Amino acid sequence: MKYFKLFPTLLILILAFFLISDSYLFAAETFWDDFDGNSLDPAKWGYQDRNWPIGQTWFREAPTVSGGIATFEHHTYNPYDPGNSCLGHEIYTYTSFSRGPGFGIEVRVRLRSPISSGLVSSVFGYTDKAMPYGSPVWSDEVDFEFLSNQVNNPPESIGHRVFVASWNDFGAPGSGYYDSVHHWGENPLVPTLDLTEFNTFKILWSADSVQWYWDPDQIRGQNLFPDILISETSSVIPDEPLTLRMNFWASTSDWPLAWDIGMQPTSNPADDIVCYYDVDYIGTMQIPAPASLVLVAIGLLSLRCIRRLRY
């Protein structure tokens, strides 16, 4: 009888350990798009349509969707503004996603080869915030950005780099790049990563950290290899609900890491350089608080054990 009484306690402790360490397994999918069909789903996505640039690029219309892939194009010839700006795409969800106990983003993307230098492709969460004071708008953001410069001219031969960043109240008085209060970013090397092939990337956003992962498994649902932690910050944590966004654009010399002198707008359509950023799927998940899971599980298990001991 002594050993039987000890067994429920041991089982509870084991269950608590796994719930705390693997709460990601209990995540609930809150958004998913694998881009089936022939066009962007208008119930899920909007697209930017504006005549002012990000970097050198205007955004117009929606990316094409075919064969389960959303394809973002970037053109050096912009028929709406020839010779002055390039033309690309940006899309955003109509839904804003709250962090809650924890929130995850998963995306599978590639920079289609050949890719010209000077381009930035991205997946990110973003919001503009109401301002109590100050200008410009305050923003919260968490990013994955892939720089074609670092695909074509990697500083190392063993993999590619990615750019990761987080933002909180950026634009507030005193905020600045890399101040570790309103902005944080890194550009780590990921050994064996090839950005011209499809790769799965994940962002885990919680109250005390943002983590960026690469999943080496090439097929969704495989778990042959553990996810690789690329980078992590606990100093700059967004706290506002974020819309999910993706875009493809050309940098200016204001960001030397991403800029290339050869990436310039053209006024001649015959000189148009077209590059492609492909997205296979993107999804989000809400991750429950491990402590809550443990308390519920312990309560249910304890109740069952008590009933067994009594009867």
Residue type, 205: W
pLDDT in tens, 174-203: 999 999 999 999 999 999 999 999 999 999
Identify the pLDDT of residue 64: 98
Q: How far is CA 139 from CA 46, 119, 186, 243, in A?
A: 19, 23, 19, 12
- Comparing 255 with 303, the larger pLDDT belongs to 255
pLDDT in tens, 25-47: 557 899 999 999 999 999 999 99
Instruction: Look at residue 287 and tell me whether its pLDDT is greater than 70.
Output: yes
pLDDT in tens, 222-255: 677 789 999 999 999 999 999 999 999 999 999 9
Instruction: Look at residue 133 and tell me whether its pLDDT is greater than 70.
Output: no
Q: Percent of the chain at pLDDT above 90?
A: 72
Sequence spans of domains, the chain: 1-26+288-311, 28-285
Identify the pLDDT of residue 311: 41
Model confidence, pTM: 0.84
The pLDDT of 113-134, averaged and rounded, is 89
Give dist(CA 213, CA 207) in Å, integer.
17
Instruction: Look at residue 1 and tell me whether its pLDDT is greater than 90.
Output: no
Identify the pLDDT of residue 16: 45
**What H or E segment, with its residue span, contains residue 80?**
none
- Comparing 136 with 197, the larger pLDDT belongs to 197
Identify the pLDDT of residue 306: 35
Domain 28-285 classification at class level: mainly beta
The pLDDT of 109-119, averaged and rounded, is 97
Cα Rg of the chain (Å, integer): 23
pLDDT in tens, 158-169: 999 999 999 999
- Comparing 233 with 22, the larger pLDDT belongs to 233
Identify the pLDDT of residue 130: 72
Give dist(CA 283, CA 98) in Å, integer.
14
Give dist(CA 128, CA 71) in Å, integer.
26
Neighbours of 226 (CB within 10 A): 10
pLDDT band at 20 (very low <50, low <70, confident <90, very high): very low
